[in-house]
Amino acid sequence: MGTVKRVRRRGVSALTLLCAMAVLASAPALGLTGTAYAAPGAPTSPAAPGAPTAPEPGTKSLEQVRKEIDELYRQAGTATDAYNQAESETKAQSERVVELAKQVAAGRERITSLKERAGAAARAQYRSSGLPPGARLALSGSPSQYLDGADRLRQGEKATADLLAELNRTQNDLQRYSKDASALWRQLEANRVKKETAKKEIEEKIKAAQELESKLEAEEKARLLQLEQDAQRQAQTAWLSSGVLKEINGAASEAGKAAIRFATAQVGKPYEWGAVGPRSYDCSGLTSQAWLAAGRGIPRTSQEQLRLLPKVAIKDMRPGDLIIYFDDASHVALYVGDGAIIHAPRPGRNITLAGAGSMPIKAVVRPDA
């Protein structure tokens, strides 16, 4: 550990990052890219053999295609977050509707019981010749009976008043429950529409990206992957070159270590939008389940994770923290230390290890602050 700290002070050598790889998983066995978090000065991998030549005039370059595909998948990620949020709200609202339905049923049973009690009191008065309690008391011929009757009269009047008050309260509660349930049903319908809209957008964006990629030859697809890795490497190198890791030396909490262990065990599994495991995950599905495995429930979506979890400065970042990416907070990853993250990138890619600076960072949040 002392060696790692000395290496960090010298600017984070490639050896440090290779150590992080060895701790988490073997890249060839798990399908990691292995180059996304290269340190400054690391050599760029050579272009794929037989890479296509420059495009003819009027056609898109492979780099333009790559950017277009990336943007489509990023838009799909934004729609996925909207879908997941609607799904989460729908679940919470459905549970509340069930709770309200139980309260409505209990309220109706209570009203029936109170009415039966009121009816019994009315029948008892009828059996006593219909005289009101005050009149019966006045006709009493015994002082002791009069006093006893007065006490019973006060008790009876209080019981009647309490019965009527409880009946009114229960009826008011029942009306409120019914009103709340109606409002929730409207919200559920709005969320259903929101989910369907987001689902349609996700499917359209993914289909458009896949169609673009399907038009490429095998060599072009290999080169496309190379361009994607090169772009990530360049972004990571620029991030590391800023000296950011010289200040980042926080140690993971026990919960953070548990979240990292969970996420590491998922490396190699496919990305699937809306998925929360165990066979596949989307980006926030992975981070939320990792922290759930660590004993901390956190919001389901990257946007809600950003909104509700405590924020920390990048220099104070520690393993186990979540890094939120892009201006719209449409992507999230788990920081594992030494400038690396584990994340579920996008459709067509597997959960992998990558550079923390390989995408534009918006914020860092801490589930166990």
User: Which residues, 6 or more positions from 145, have their beta carbon under 8 angstroms from its beta carbon?
Assistant: none
Among residues 30, 100, 283, 334, the one annotated as catalytic is 283
**Cα–Cα nearest to 283, from 305, 261, 265:** 305
pLDDT tens, 224-241? 999 999 999 999 999 999
Per the model's pLDDT, the better-predicted residue between 147 and 232 turns out to be 232
pTM for this structure? 0.65
User: Which residues, 6 or more positions from 344, have their beta carbon under 8 angstroms from its beta carbon?
Assistant: 271, 281, 282, 283, 285, 286, 350, 351
- Which DSSP string do the residues of 190-209 spell out, in sequence order? HHHHHHHHHHHHHHHHHHHH
For residue 360, pLDDT beyond 90? yes
**pLDDT (0 to 100) of residue 42:** 41
| Measured distance CA(284)–CA(275) in Å, rounded | 9
For residue 327, pLDDT beyond 50? yes
Phi, psi of 311 (to 5 degrees): -90, 145
**pLDDT (0 to 100) of residue 192:** 84
**Residue 25 pLDDT grade (very low, low, confident, very high; cuts 50, 70, 90):** very low
| Structural contact between residues 332 and 368, judged by C-beta atoms closer than 8 angstroms | no
The question of whether 325 is a catalytic residue gets the answer: no
Q: What's the average model confidence in pLDDT over 108-116? A: 75
Percent of the chain with pLDDT over 70: 72
User: Which residues, 6 or more positions from 298, have their beta carbon under 8 angstroms from its beta carbon?
Assistant: 287, 288, 291, 292, 305, 308, 309, 367
Among residues 8, 343, 346, 366, the one annotated as catalytic is 343
**Cα–Cα nearest to 341, from 27, 20, 50, 64:** 20
- The continuous run of DSSP H or E covering 354 comes out as strand 352-355
**Taking all residues of the chain, what is their mean pLDDT, rounded to a whole number?**
79
| Structural contact between residues 181 and 111, judged by C-beta atoms closer than 8 angstroms | no
* Structure-token pair, residue 269: 């599994």
For residue 2, pLDDT beyond 60? no
User: Which residues, 6 or more positions from 346, have their beta carbon under 8 angstroms from its beta carbon?
Assistant: 73, 74, 76, 77, 271
| Measured distance CA(258)–CA(103) in Å, rounded | 40
| Structural contact between residues 290 and 262, judged by C-beta atoms closer than 8 angstroms | yes
pLDDT tens, 257-281? 999 999 999 999 999 999 999 999 9
Phi, psi of 340 (to 5 degrees): -120, 155
| Measured distance CA(292)–CA(270) in Å, rounded | 20
**Residue 345 pLDDT grade (very low, low, confident, very high; cuts 50, 70, 90):** very high
Per-residue CA distances from 305 to 16, 74, 119, 285, 366 (Å): 30, 18, 56, 11, 9
pLDDT tens, 267-319? 999 999 999 999 999 999 999 999 999 999 999 999 999 999 999 999 999 99
Among residues 195, 331, 346, 366, the one annotated as catalytic is 331
**pLDDT (0 to 100) of residue 47:** 41
Per the model's pLDDT, the better-predicted residue between 299 and 58 turns out to be 299
The question of whether 343 is a catalytic residue gets the answer: yes
The question of whether 19 is a catalytic residue gets the answer: no
**pLDDT (0 to 100) of residue 151:** 55
Helices (H), the chain: 2-9, 14-24, 27-30, 62-127, 133-138, 143-214, 218-241, 254-265, 283-293, 302-308
* Structure-token pair, residue 319: 């393993």
pLDDT tens, 187-222? 888 888 888 999 999 999 999 999 998 999 999 999
